[in-house]
A and B are shown apart, each in its own frame.
Chain A
Amino acid sequence: MKQERGILLATFIGGLVFGVGLAVSEMTHPEVVLDFLQLDDLGLLLVMGGGAVVAAIGFHIATRSGKTAPLTGKKYGLRKRDLDKDVIVGGVIFGIGWGISGICPGAAFASLGIGNYVIIWAIIGMIFGAHIHGVIKESQRN
């Protein structure tokens, strides 16, 4: 129980930092994302690139150390997902949605944080979409 509390506290602090980064980079503004997608301002590449480089340094140093995370005892590793048709079809559907709205999950929550309550439409849509996906997966299993 004590350990669980530590995990949640560390994750909360990391989430706070993550949210500040999204606000600083203005990814909270769908307009800024749409400006990027319309190729008027390529700033988003610096955001994604900056985040990926910092994460890459942390991931690779920790993974190479062969050590485990102090709060969970989980071995450090990299993000690995199978490359299948779903990854491509999912990417196409996500791309359509991102192009329509200029919003993605993390940025939507940060946008709510800066007081942009209209973004609730996107959050409702995303949760509904994730629900539809689950219902489809469930029906495919049976």
Chain B
Amino acid sequence: MVIIQIADLVVTAFPNGMAHYAIGGIIIGAGVVLIYLTTGHIIGASTGLETTISYYSKLKWFQQEEFISSRNWRTVFTIGIIMGAASYTVVLGIDQWITEVQWWRLLIGGVFVGVGTRLGKGCTSGHGICGLASISPTSLVNVVVFLGIAIIVAHLIELVGVIP
């Protein structure tokens, strides 16, 4: 009986299955570890936003030594992400997929993500994966805050009838 109840709960929590999520997560972790073991670098996708700006902005903030010295490998990492996802769809013959989330949600949300991840010193990869893997209290606090707020905001948006 208890087993059936647990099984029901799992189906409710993961209506689209669990395997592709877990396997994808493990592959993401493998990419992080590969870079870490060879270079000692701990990746974070949002730092790459700032280092990209350092190529064209003369503002002193963006011309920090930390950004200049890491911008080449961070840019290469970003290009790798794009090409990795692209190769996956090409090799498996997956059709091109276009989001139905409205463009203004992506743009406005993106601006908040840009400000918030830089102020907060990391995003889902930097804090969420690498920070939690480092058992960093800073990252745990940041992840709990952004997860909680995002869950509330997503519910509010659905509540006012914006779908998707």
Per-position contact with A for B101-128: 1 when CB-CB < 8 Å, else 0? 1011111111111111111111111101
- In the complex, chain A residues whose CB is within 8 Å of the CB of B57: 131, 134
Interface residues of A in 86-140 (CB under 8 A from B): 86-119, 121-135, 137-138
A87 to B35 alpha-carbon distance, docked (Å):
25
Whether A58 contacts B36 in the complex (CB less than 8 A), given A24-B20, A37-B154, A80-B134, comes out as yes
Minimum CB–CB distance for A59 against chain B, Å: 5
Q: Which of B109-158 contact A (CB under 8 A)?
A: 109-126, 128-139, 141-158
Q: Contacts A55-B133, A79-B136, A134-B57; is A29 near B97 (CB within 8 Å)?
A: yes
Question: In the complex, what residue of chain B is closest to A68 when comparing beta carbons?
Answer: B40
Residue of B14, B40, B60, B130 near A55 (CB, 8 A) is: B130
Query: Quick one: closest B residue to A105, CB to CB?
Result: B45
B-side contacts of A130, CB under 8 Å: 46, 49-50, 53, 114-115, 117-118
Is A19 within 8 A of B88, CB to CB? yes
Question: With A31-B99, A52-B129, A114-B85 known to touch, is A21 a contact of B27 (CB < 8 Å)?
Answer: yes
Give 9 closest A-B pairs by Cβ, nearest first.
A15-B80, A129-B114, A125-B110, A90-B120, A101-B109, A25-B24, A50-B25, A19-B84, A54-B29
